[in-house]
């Protein structure tokens, strides 16, 4: 019954997909058709910049602008995903960046000055060849490299036939992979993007050696050494490349990352972490066999069949140090070998190479003996045929097996002395999951499972790599200091691997050893905004029952900022991503004080001519006579003395499930979910919105007067609509220069997410423009799979025991407590008859959470439900019946009444008809509300879906934080608001240059997110993407 939702709506999905896996291939005109080996580079490489030249120097603001543009192109202008992606990267920027084309060869460094391991990588094939890549270093305002010892970050690209970093640099139009690495450099990292052997400067000088371990070491280690030398020489040892590095890569880059880490470690470099994804590590077994299997089973994607040509050419007598070199055991078939090798050596296009590979049998380019060897092993279930003496035949396949085994990384991984995280999808269609090592052999090995095929799985893998590079684990790692303020001549030699050598002319590289540093001076960096100095507490007692209309607190702008900052710090921690997001938002958006009132109303109190009002508030509607309550939060002038002038959008925050704690009676109740809920009202109010936090039917003022109605559509509409209209009336009656606009944003999670959808529908029907709905973990498919999936989750042990009270709330609502339900006093009821009265009474009386939890047995929570309903749900999920209420599926006559009650409160139709944006967020592992509850986004272009990591509680953090980002987006801040106050008499209160301004007839200036997000903030190294992905923080709902 569970449905898999596409990962393409994950945060940063388009940002981190193919552009980061495989560099884009530029169209090439007038490329030479043929080129003898050792001749000139192809046309697309002919105009390379000089070695060790500066390609660009960007100020932090320029880099911020370029990143802003690239993210907009990838994720859509003003989209929530784009805005959060900007917060991920732009808030981490600290410095300008210099981007340089770096070249080096093994011969640039004398063997005597290097560790013994240097000869392992730098005395064989390619040792005299100059290799290239990009180097990015952090810059000060004057254009000089930032002082200090900086860790290295090496980003290893995915498979390409032509395009590599130093070839494809196009300034501000460069790809997202380069921009992300520039962001790394801006944090204070020395970022490198190598080209690999046979690419860039070495194109036409040596063969490409795809998936040959030694080539990555030979082609990249000299670049590392050259970067260290040049930084020290250029800064006279006031800056240095640390003897510490993180290495990242995916696909070919994942293999290369593991291989390179071994080389650098043996050179004395501290490997902080290897983040490798989807690498073919088991070259001697799984990479060979499963490559053949994926083709034979029709799984391998033919659009990347050039991979077979690349690996075949590398293992076909082109790399002299392979065991099968000129042994008559080439991987490629003899009739295609020369043509494929020539194309790859000449850096032919992907299309040209694929033209030589049949689509109906792509592995036919391999030797027939090798194909038969693999297929026979697969048929016999032999997972390691190269270690099977009965299969390895001298002179036939022994040398090709030896070559593959020599480049197998399994043993290296299982004995690694540094942290390695391998990310891989079980459904990878290019590099099978079987390539992973045995994780039980080494505690330093960590496995991260992604989902989807080879391309789709890259999202999770690469996102984790980015998060690590922006984390304190990397940026805060201790490094051995290698700098001095007295000049290089005054210090002793650095560690051998990074000593600055005085080379004799015969040893010196033909390339310049320093960069031309004549660059424009950089503009001053923005200063950090000061932390709030006050953290006021409310003067009202939060424990006594507040009176309707009572003002609970009035704060000026600074006090509001201080209080919410303290609450965020207490709830999430000063170093948390949530706190970083709040501080960033508050720096630019907090422009008002805030007044908090208890607001009460009822349908009978409101008189309106609205045509849709009777649907929610007619005398026959259950709860229409009851008093509804909640909190009203109004923007005040910055000094907190009066309601601010202006027409303000509304913001309705719908709280999460609870038994006895709701906004109006627990408005400052000491943390937890309700404290978060209060913050989620204060924040929009301080940014210029009228915030309403409803209690819901049967809570607050309605407690004990009327039954609670959990996940009953009309109950939320009946309780919120009167509060909205009361808020309109309050501003009309108390002020002449303030008004609640006919526009609103609605947000909530879990029960609050459900409420958000139905409240938005009601307000829209009353003529309110819905700017956006941000809803998380919405139990929307009540009429079909919600109950069966819930039962399955409980029986499989996935339902969190601490949320058992939600089962009591649900059972009570659908057991003859809500007058108007089809099964009201007719049955069947959801609750089992022997416990029904007790649970209904506990829920109605708002008993303590522990009392309600205690009524639901921890060992058998389903026992509170009607066995007939449980059996119906169990049969549905076992039979994968997605329409269990369909004809013929009822267990007894009359069961259709229960189904009718569920169907009436199903939200599927609302999703399909929504005429405003609805952004849905859901935890991938939610054991309370499964992802199967998500609607079909193809039915309505207004539906946006984001899947985040975590279960129900963990995803709460990710999903509820999203509205802050949207509040700061131009989509919200520039939303056209029709003024309802007297614009001729009233001067609107506006803070200049604020990204969230009071809506007026002439919009106030709106700062672009790129400019304000680049401002230095207290937690600049914390990535908000970890909030969006729900990586580490668990928040219980009660």
What is the model's pLDDT at position 670?
37
Decide which of 1000 and 648 is more confident: 648
Residues 6+ positions from 947 with CB-CB distance below 8 Å: 5, 7, 9, 10, 922, 923, 924, 931
pLDDT tens digits for range 286-317: 999 999 999 999 999 999 999 999 999 999 99
**Tokens in use for 633?**
């939060």
DSSP 8-class letter at 875: H
pLDDT tens digits for range 599-648: 999 888 876 666 677 788 887 788 888 889 999 999 999 899 999 999 99
Report the alpha-carbon distance of residue 789 to residue 931 in Å, rounded: 10
H helix or E strand, kind and range, residue 248: strand 239-250
Decide which of 934 and 1021 is more confident: 934
**pLDDT value at 667 more than 80:** no
Report the alpha-carbon distance of residue 228 to residue 245 in Å, rounded: 12
Handedness of CA 616, 618, 619, 620 (dihedral sign): negative
Poorest-pLDDT segment among 497-506, 547-556, 708-717, 866-875: 497-506
What is the model's pLDDT at position 888?
59
**pLDDT value at 999 more than 70:** no
pLDDT tens digits for range 479-496: 888 887 767 765 443 332
What is the model's pLDDT at position 611?
62
pLDDT tens digits for range 243-267: 999 999 999 999 999 999 999 999 9
Cα 1005 off chain centre by: 30
Quick one: which of 555, 742, 542, 727 has its CA closest to 628?
A: 727
Poorest-pLDDT segment among 10-14, 309-313, 516-520, 543-547: 516-520
What is the model's pLDDT at position 81?
61
What is the model's pLDDT at position 87?
72
Quick one: which of 931, 721, 973, 1014 has its CA closest to 62?
A: 1014
Mean pLDDT of the residues in the chain:
81
Decide which of 865 and 1037 is more confident: 865
Residue 643 contacts residue 735 (beta carbons within 8 Å): yes
What is the model's pLDDT at position 342?
95
Poorest-pLDDT segment among 396-410, 632-646, 830-844: 830-844
What is the model's pLDDT at position 508?
34
**pLDDT value at 673 more than 60:** no
Name the pLDDT band for 9 (thresholds 50, 70, 90): very low
Sheet strand arrangement including 738-749: 551-555, 593-601, 628-636, 690-694, 646-654, 738-749, 769-776, 918-923, 943-948
**pLDDT value at 529 more than 60:** no
Report the alpha-carbon distance of residue 313 to residue 305 in Å, rounded: 13
Report the alpha-carbon distance of residue 375 to residue 294 in Å, rounded: 11
What is the model's pLDDT at position 960?
81
DSSP for 62-78, written as a single string = HHHHHHHHHHHHHH-TT
Bridge partners (DSSP) of residue 240 are 149
What is the model's pLDDT at position 661?
81
Q: How many CB atoms lie within 10 A of CB 326?
A: 11
Instruction: Tell me the chain's radius of gyration from C-alpha atoms.
Output: 32
pLDDT tens digits for range 767-783: 999 999 999 999 999 98
- Checking phi first, is residue 335 left (phi over 0); if not, alpha (psi -120 to 50) or beta? alpha
Residue with tokens 């896996």: 21
Report the alpha-carbon distance of residue 135 to residue 165 in Å, rounded: 10
Mean pLDDT of 350-376: 96
What is the model's pLDDT at position 992?
33
Name the pLDDT band for 587 (thresholds 50, 70, 90): confident
Poorest-pLDDT segment among 68-77, 410-419, 637-646, 941-950: 68-77
Burial class (CB in 10 A: 0-12, 13-18, 19+), 479: middle
Report the alpha-carbon distance of residue 301 to residue 295 in Å, rounded: 8
DSSP 8-class letter at 650: E
Residue 175 contacts residue 23 (beta carbons within 8 Å): yes
Name the pLDDT band for 990 (thresholds 50, 70, 90): very low
What is the model's pLDDT at position 1032?
24
pLDDT tens digits for range 895-939: 778 888 899 999 999 999 999 999 999 999 999 999 999 999 899
Report the alpha-carbon distance of residue 208 to residue 313 in Å, rounded: 8
Decide which of 1027 and 1012 is more confident: 1027
Widest CA span in the chain: 98
- DSSP-based three-state secondary structure for 531: coil
What is the model's pLDDT at position 608?
63
**pLDDT value at 21 more than 70:** no
Name the pLDDT band for 696 (thresholds 50, 70, 90): very high
Mean pLDDT of 122-146: 94
pLDDT tens digits for range 26-71: 332 322 222 223 333 333 334 567 888 999 999 999 999 998 888 8
Residues 6+ positions from 844 with CB-CB distance below 8 Å: 698, 704, 707, 708, 812, 817
Poorest-pLDDT segment among 78-82, 182-186, 578-582, 715-719: 78-82
Mean pLDDT of 789-816: 92
CA angle 93, 99, 102 (to 5 degrees): 140
What are φ and ψ of residue 135, in 5° steps?
-120, 135
What is the model's pLDDT at position 983?
66
**pLDDT value at 1016 more than 60:** no
What is the model's pLDDT at position 22?
38
pLDDT tens digits for range 189-224: 999 999 999 999 999 899 999 999 999 999 999 999
Query: Could you tell me what percent of the chain has a pLDDT over 90?
Result: 54
């Amino acid at each position: 019954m569970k449905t898999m939702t596409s990962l393409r709506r994950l945060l940063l999905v388009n940002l981190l997909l193919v552009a980061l896996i495989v560099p884009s291939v530029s169209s090439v005109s007038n490329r030479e058709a043929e080129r003898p080996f050792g001749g000139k580079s192809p046309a697309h490489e002919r105009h390379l910049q000089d070695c060790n030249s500066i390609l660009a120097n960007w100020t932090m603001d320029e880099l911020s602008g370029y990143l802003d543009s690239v993210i907009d192109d990838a994720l859509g202008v003003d989209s929530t995903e784009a805005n959060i992606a900007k917060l991920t990267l732009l808030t981490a920027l600290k410095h300008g960046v210099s981007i340089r084309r770096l070249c080096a060869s093994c011969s640039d460094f004398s063997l005597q000055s290097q560790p013994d391991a240097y000869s392992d990588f730098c005395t064989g094939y390619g040792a005299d060849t100059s290799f290239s890549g990009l180097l990015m270093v952090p810059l000060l305002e004057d254009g000089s490299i930032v002082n200090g010892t900086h860790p290295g970050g090496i980003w290893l690209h995915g498979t390409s036939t032509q395009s590599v970093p130093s070839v494809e640099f196009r300034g501000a139009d460069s790809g997202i992979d380069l921009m992300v690495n520039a962001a790394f450099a801006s944090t204070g990292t020395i970022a490198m993007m190598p080209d690999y052997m046979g690419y860039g400067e070495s194109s036409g000088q040596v063969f490409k050696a795809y998936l040959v371990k030694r080539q990555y070491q030979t082609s990249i280690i000299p670049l590392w050494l050259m970067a260290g030398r040049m930084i020290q020489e250029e800064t006279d040892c006031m800056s240095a490349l640390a003897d510490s590095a993180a290495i990242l890569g995916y696909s070919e880059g994942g293999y290369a990352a593991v291989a390179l880490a071994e080389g650098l470690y043996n050179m004395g470099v501290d490997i902080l972490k290897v983040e490798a994804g989807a690498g073919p590590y088991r070259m001697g077994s799984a990479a060979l066999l499963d490559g053949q299997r994926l083709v034979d089973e029709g799984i391998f994607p033919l659009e990347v069949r050039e991979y077979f040509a690349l690996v075949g050419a590398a293992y076909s007598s082109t790399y002299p140090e392979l065991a099968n070199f000129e042994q008559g055991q080439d991987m490629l078939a003899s009739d295609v070998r020369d043509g494929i090798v020539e194309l790859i050596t000449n850096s032919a296009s992907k299309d040209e190479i694929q033209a030589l590979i049949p689509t109906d049998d792509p592995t036919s380019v391999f030797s027939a003996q090798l194909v038969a060897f693999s297929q026979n092993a697969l048929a016999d279930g032999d997972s390691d045929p190269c270690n099977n003496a009965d299969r390895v035949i001298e002179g036939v396949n022994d040398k090709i097996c030896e070559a593959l085994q020599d480049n197998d990384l399994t043993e290296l991984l299982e004995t690694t002395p540094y942290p390695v995280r391998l990310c891989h999808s079980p459904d990878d269609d290019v590099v099978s999951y079987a390539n992973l090592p045995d994780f039980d052999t080494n505690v330093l090995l960590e496995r991260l499972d992604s989902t989807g095929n080879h391309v789709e799985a890259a999202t999770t893998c690469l996102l984790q790599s980015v998060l690590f590079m922006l984390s304190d684990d990397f940026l805060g790692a201790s490094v051995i200091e290698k700098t001095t303020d007295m000049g290089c001549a005054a210090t002793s030699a650095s560690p051998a691997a990074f000593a600055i050598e005085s080379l004799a002319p015969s040893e010196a590289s033909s390339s310049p050893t320093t960069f031309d540093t004549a660059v424009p001076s950089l503009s001053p960096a923005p200063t950090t905004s000061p932390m709030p100095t006050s953290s006021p507490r409310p003067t009202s007692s939060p424990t006594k029952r507040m009176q309707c209309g009572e003002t609970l607190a009035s704060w000026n702008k600074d006090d509001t900022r201080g209080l919410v900052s303290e609450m965020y710090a207490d709830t999430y921690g000063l170093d948390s991503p949530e706190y970083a997001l709040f501080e960033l938002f508050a720096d630019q958006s907090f422009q008002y004080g805030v007044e908090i009132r208890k607001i009460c109303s009822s349908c009978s109190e409101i008189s309106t001519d609205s045509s849709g009002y009777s649907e929610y508030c007619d005398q026959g509607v259950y709860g229409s006579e009851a008093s509804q309550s909640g909190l009203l939060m109004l923007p005040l002038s910055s000094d907190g003395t009066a309601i601010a002038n202006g027409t303000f959008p509304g913001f309705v925050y719908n709280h999460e499930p609870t038994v006895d704690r709701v906004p109006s009676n627990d408005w400052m109740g000491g943390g937890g979910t309700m404290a978060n809920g209060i913050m989620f009202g204060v924040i929009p109010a301080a940014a210029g919105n009228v915030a309403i936090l409803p209690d819901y039917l049967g809570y607050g003022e309605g407690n004990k007067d009327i039954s609670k109605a959990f996940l009953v559509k009309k109950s939320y509409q009946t309780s919120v609509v009167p509060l909205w209209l009361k808020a309109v009336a309050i501003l009309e009656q108390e002020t002449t220069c303030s008004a609640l606009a006919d526009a609103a944003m609605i947000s909530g999670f879990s029960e609050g997410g459900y409420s958000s959808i139905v409240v938005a529908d009601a307000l829209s029907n009353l003529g309110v423009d819905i700017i956006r709905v941000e809803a998380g973990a919405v139990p929307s498919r009540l009429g079909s799979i919600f109950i069966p999936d819930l039962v399955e989750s409980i029986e499989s042990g996935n339902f969190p025991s601490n949320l058992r009270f939600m089962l009591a709330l649900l059972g009570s609502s659908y057991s003859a407590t809500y007058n108007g339900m089809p099964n009201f006093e007719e049955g069947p009821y959801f609750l089992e008859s022997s416990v029904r009265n007790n649970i209904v009474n506990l829920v109605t009386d708002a008993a303590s959470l522990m009392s309600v939890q205690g009524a639901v047995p921890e060992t058998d929570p389903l026992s509170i439900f009607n066995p007939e309903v449980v059996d119906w749900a169990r049969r549905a999920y076992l039979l994968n019946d997605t329409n269990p209420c369909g004809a013929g599926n009822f267990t007894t006559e009359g069961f259709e009444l229960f189904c009718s009650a569920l169907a009436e409160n199903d939200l599927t139709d609302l999703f399909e008809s929504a005429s405003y944006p609805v952004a849905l967020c859901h935890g991938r592992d939610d054991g309370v509300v499964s992802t199967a509850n998500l609607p079909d986004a193809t039915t309505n272009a207004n539906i946006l879906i984001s899947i985040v990591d975590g279960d129900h509680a963990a995803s709460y953090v990710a999903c509820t934080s999203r509205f802050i980002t949207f509040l700061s987006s131009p989509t919200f801040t520039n939303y056209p608001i029709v003024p309802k106050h007297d614009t001729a008499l009233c001067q609107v209160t506006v803070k200049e240059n604020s990204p969230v301004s009071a809506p007026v007839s002439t919009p106030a200036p709106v700062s672009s997110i790129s400019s304000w997000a680049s401002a230095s903030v207290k937690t600049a190294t914390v990535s908000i993407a970890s909030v969006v992905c729900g990586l580490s923080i668990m928040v219980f709902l009660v």
